[in-house]
Structure 1
């Protein structure tokens, strides 16, 4: 299983990996898809707003950005896409192994969040997710798939979240 996983992760680093920002036509539901994603260090993630009715952000949980608790690896650089209008995109390259949680600034309370797992727990420099959940709602925590599930599946779509 480890060799297969390593091989499939290597293939994913070859190209830019896209995460879409989505929403229903009336805006009653918004989400990132995939919700969970496993990649190798050095993968570039492209966030693209495919929601015709809303602007969105892709924002890392980090004290340097809006004073949030850190939910990305210590060695990682935080990011904030700023507001993306429909069909706009933002890219970030993730190099530090570990678990990265991120959110949409105006829609976090609607649980528009996601998780990216870079590398594997057996890899050098791996850092698991932050244990500090004091500034994240229970609703947000319930939506985020466990890192183990993301690693096993490669991706967890919004529809396959439960």
Structure 2
């Protein structure tokens, strides 16, 4: 038999739980779509530039029915590419995603993260994510060739939205 005291204790515990301050729920994943023209003549990430909070998850989804794509961080561990993510951040490589496949990461270090599609970098399929608040990471001229590793094609360098544009808009869609 359940005592009255037991019921009051459980009820009091539930009431106390309702009065405790709530921790914010983890933000929903932000989606970056991998897309392309039907004839394969043009491929892109949408958005191409994005600002998120520390600890937010990014999910790439391949919506291009005619191509496989990757989401790959510029980092020496990835095909000896130049470092274009914050020091201390873990590099990622989604491997090839077939149509409708997804890949997710959670970014925990503030800064600027540049990424590309391995088979389509030469077509300018690149993107930039800014994690954190303005002014908390050192400004860098990311429009120029980084030192070390394989050079980035000029078309890819021109395709990155500026840090200022991403900070102003939050999301930058492809032109």
**Fold similarity call, TM over 0.5:** yes
d(CA) in 1 for partners of 2:100, 2:157? 28
Q: Which consecutive aligned stretches of 4+ in structure 1 deviate over 6 angstroms post-superposition? A: none
**Corresponding residue to 1:118 among 131, 153, 163:** 131
The Cα shift of 1:128 comes to: 4.1
In the alignment, the residues of structure 1 paired with residue 92 and residue 165 of structure 2 have an alpha-carbon distance, to the nearest angstrom, of 24
Alpha-carbon displacement from aligned partner over 1:31-68 (angstroms, at most 9, x marks no partner):
00000000111110000000000000000000011011
Counterpart in 1 of 2:63?
50
Structure 2: which 5+ runs fail to align?
Answer: 1-23
Aligned length: 146
1:40 equivalent to 2:53? Answer: yes
Structure 1 residue 132: deviation in Å?
4.6
Counterpart of 1:24 in structure 2 is: 37
Structure-to-structure mapping, 1:69-88, within 5 angstroms:
69-88=82-101
CA distance in 1, matches of 2:139, 2:34: 25
Residues 118-143 of structure 1: per-residue CA shift (max 9 Å, x gap): 113323xx244556535112211111
Return 5+ residue gaps in structure 1 as ranges.
1-10
Q: 1:91 to 1:115 in 2, by over 3 A?
A: same
CA RMSD of superposed structures (Å) = 1.7
Higher Rg of the two aligned structures: 2
**In the TM superposition, what are the counterparts of 1:95-106 in structure 2 within 5 Å?**
95-106=108-119
